[in-house]
Amino acid sequence: MIKKGLNGNLKGETFMQSTFKVPIKGKKGKGRVVMQFGSFYDYSDHCIRPDLPVEPMDDTLNSLIDVLISSGALPASVRPNTAIINIYNVGDNIPPHIDHTDYPRPFSILSLQTSSPILFGTHIIPLGSGKFKAPFSSILERRSLLVLEGNGADVAEHCIPGVEMRRVSITLRKMPEWAERETRERVAREFFGNEKGEEISKPPAVNLSDFVKKPSGGGGQKKKEGLPSVVVAQKKKWAEKVQDDVTKGRSAWKKGPSAIQRAPPGFEGREEKKKEEKKVVQSAKKVQQENNDEKVVLLRREQLVEEKKKNGEKKKQEEEHPDKKKKEEEYKEKKGAALKELNEQLKRQQEAERYQLQEINERRGNQQIAALQKLNEEQDAEYKTLVARLDKIKATALQKLNEEKVAVLKTITEEKDAEITGLASKLDAEKDTEIHSLIARLNKKKATALQKLKEEKVAVLKTITEEKDAEIKSLESRLNEEKDSTLQDLGESKSVKITSLENKLKIEKAIEIYNLNSRLSKKNNQTRQEIKALEKKVEKEEEFVFGDFSDSEDMNKKKKGKKGKSKLNPDTKAFREVEDWN
């Protein structure tokens, strides 16, 4: 099957190597081989394309599905009618994806040949070289069936990292309704050029083979209903072949511009293609010839039907008007000859037309093949030029973008710097203003607090002073009272003491005076005696010395002295005072 696919012998888009059609620069290998059956899924446009032909589901695939359904592995209500055979050679992978949500769930993957890990996650990160980072992984065992539905199918992506051994898997999915309908219509178109699928089993009422194969002069053979199976098979084969050629871009004149557009650039095996094209042109010519024959035969049939109808009418008229019969027979003969002549003319004309048409078709076919070939070559060249130009444009654009980016970044940086500076100075100013107002507020607060404190202090001091004053006053009065009482007490004891002291002193004084007086009187007595003694002595001496010198001054003095002898000396006086005092 792979060989068939590689040789281009599988229908339409069935066979693909790698999911990219244009080679990726620097990418080694071609990627996994993908073969699609039943319906085509376009990996590059991410859409289901029932309009593009692929091989139908074959018996093997259908019986595999029967087994899976009858064993209960898959629900009969979602019977798969498409299959993708993935062939992973060593290193091949399938990147993270969610199978198109138009495919009804569940869908399934059958793993064959070798087992392999499968990764799941809402955001699988590609790490390059077929490696991925994902939160969940599982092993797809060889010959196991993975059935996907719910979040596992619709929310989480899945991928197969680069395989270590060749692996094959079969993805089984049911087409959505609309794709099924479009596939049916396409298949019908491929067979009979009719949009309605039922025409496949119900051939057109006008039956080509009845006329083509009608035995000459027979007429008695009963007309068959429907096409004979041989003709159906032949027609089907032709239709398939032509359609196949058309979709592979080999028969552009049949399909028109869309086939030319789809012809891949760098199409390989051009020589075989040319041969194929020749064959296709021939078979197409044959079909055309057949069509022309069909047209002639159809025309002839219409004429015969017409004739039959007319004959019937004439017969009726003959029966109704037997007298006209002769005339009419003559007329019929003439008309028959004329008709024969006309038919022959028509046949000749049609023959000429057919050859003309054939020539035109051939010419047109050759022209279109040449045009296609030229177009392919031109497309190749154009593609290369375009890629080169695009690379150049891309490089220039990237360079320009980078420069613009640098310039924009510079402008933005400058703008931002200026903004930052402005903002910073504005913030500084705001900060200063705020600080000033804060300081002013704080100062005011402080002043108010200080004032309050002062007032409180004054009030407290006043209270304290008042309290202290009261205390002092009471203390003072108490002290005064105490002092007074003490003083009183002291005064009393003092006066007592003074009195006693005075008395004592008086006594002592009296004693002393007495003693003194007695001593004085003693002394006085002594002194008087001494004086007396002295006077006696002096008188003796004077008598001795002077005898009669009684008139001199000294004598006067002596006389005075004598006279003075009558006066009391101080001691005597004191003694007298003590005596008086006593």
Ligand X SMILES: O=C(O)CCC(=O)C(=O)O
Our finding on whether 14 is near ligand X (CB under 6 A) is no
190 binds ligand X (CB under 6 A): no
Encoded one letter per residue, x for contact with ligand X by CB under 6 A and - for no contact, window 116-155 reads: --x---------------------x---------------
Q: How near is the Cβ of 84 to ligand X at its closest, in Å?
A: 5
Q: Among 94, 156, 175, 369, indicate the residue that binds ligand X (CB under 6 A).
A: 94
Q: Which residues of 427-445 are buried (b: 16+ CB within 10 A; e: fewer)?
A: eeeeeeeeeeeeeeeeeee
Please give the helix or strand (H or E) that residue 39 lies within, else none.
none
Query: Measured in whole angstroms, how far is the alpha carbon of residue 524 from the centre of its chain?
Result: 146
- Stretch touching Fe ion by CB under 5 A, among 85-93, 95-103, 253-261, 469-477: 95-103
Look at residue 13 and give its three-state secondary structure: coil
In the complex, minimum distance from the CB of residue 71 to Fe ion, in angstroms, rounded to a whole number: 22
For residues 147 and 144, give the distance between their C-alpha atoms in angstroms, rounded to a whole number: 10
Q: Residues 14, 108, 171, 247: which binds ligand X (CB under 6 A)?
A: 171
Q: Would you call 337 helix, strand, or coil by DSSP?
A: helix
E-assigned strand segments in 218-366: none
The DSSP string of 414-454 is HHHHHHHHHHHHHHHHHHHHHHHHHHHHHHHHHHHHHHHHH
Query: Least distance to ligand X from the beta carbon of 160, Å?
Result: 5
Pick from Fe ion, ligand X, none: which does 85 bind, CB < 5 to 8 A by kind?
none
Element (H, E) at 334: helix 325-545
Question: DSSP string covering 259-291, please?
Answer: HHHHSPTT-S-HHHHHHHHHHHHHHHHHHHHHH
302 CA to centre of own chain: 74
Binding segment (CB under 5 A) for Fe ion, from list 9-17, 91-99, 229-237, 514-522: 91-99
169 binds, among Fe ion, ligand X, none (CB under 5 to 8 A by kind): ligand X
The CB-of-74 to Fe ion minimum distance in angstroms stands at: 16
Selection from 411, 296, 416 nearest residue 357 by Cα: 296
Residue 55 binds to Fe ion (criterion: CB under 5 A): no
For Fe ion, the nearest residue by Cβ is 99
CB of 132 to ligand X, least distance (A): 13
- Overall residue count recorded for the chain in this entry: 582
Q: Which is nearer to ligand X, 169 or 209 (CB)?
A: 169
Residue 222 vs residues 82, 210, 214, 215, 225: alpha-carbon distances, Å: 44, 10, 10, 11, 10
Residue closer to ligand X, measured from CB, 86 or 517: 86
- Structure tokens belonging to residue 98: 């969610």
Q: Binds 156, which of Fe ion, ligand X, none (CB < 5 to 8 A, cut-off by type)? A: none
Q: How far is the CB of 149 from ligand X (least distance, A)?
A: 14
Which of 13, 55, 92, 99 lies at the binding interface for Fe ion (CB under 5 A)?
Answer: 99
Q: Decide: 157 and 120 in contact? Cβ < 8 Å.
A: yes
* Residue closer to Fe ion, measured from CB, 92 or 99: 99
Which residue among 11, 49, 158, 235 contacts ligand X (CB under 6 A)?
158
| From 48, 85, 109, 284, residue interacting with ligand X (rule: CB under 6 A) | 109
For ligand X, the closer of residues 169 and 183 by Cβ is 169
Name the minimum Å distance from CB 94 to Fe ion.
7
169, 209, 292, 517: residue in contact with ligand X (rule CB under 6 A): 169
User: What does the longest C-alpha to C-alpha distance in the chain come to?
Assistant: 270
Distance separating alpha carbons of residues 252 and 287, to the nearest angstrom: 15
146 beta partners: 109
Contact by Cβ (8 Å): 109, 145: yes
61 scored as a contact of ligand X (CB under 6 A): no
Q: How many residues of this chain interact with Fe ion, rule: CB under 5 A?
A: 1
For the bound state, the minimum distance from the C-beta of residue 115 to Fe ion, rounded and expressed in Å, comes to 17
d(CA 97, CA 83): 17
List, in order, residues 6 or more apart from 116 with CB less than 8 Å away: 88, 139, 140, 160, 161, 163, 164, 167
Rule CB under 6 A: say whether 174 interacts with ligand X: no
Give residue for tokens 């001054």.
553
Q: State yes or no: residue 92 binds ligand X (CB under 6 A).
A: no
User: If contact means CB under 5 to 8 A according to the sort of partner, which of ligand X, Fe ion, none does residue 84 touch?
Assistant: ligand X
Q: Give least dist CB 210 to ligand X, A.
A: 49
Residue 30 amino acid letter:
K
Nearer residue to Fe ion within complex by CB, 140 or 369: 140
CA-to-CA distance for 260 and 376, rounded, in angstroms?
8
Taking CB under 5 A as the binding criterion, the range among 85-93, 99-107, 126-134, 326-334 that sits at the site for Fe ion is 99-107
Task: Give the residue from 208, 195, 255 showing the smallest Cα distance to 234.
Answer: 208
Q: Which stretches of the chain bind ligand X, using CB under 6 A?
A: 84, 86, 94, 99, 109, 118, 140, 158, 160, 169, 171
Q: Which stretches of the chain bind Fe ion, using CB under 5 A?
A: 99
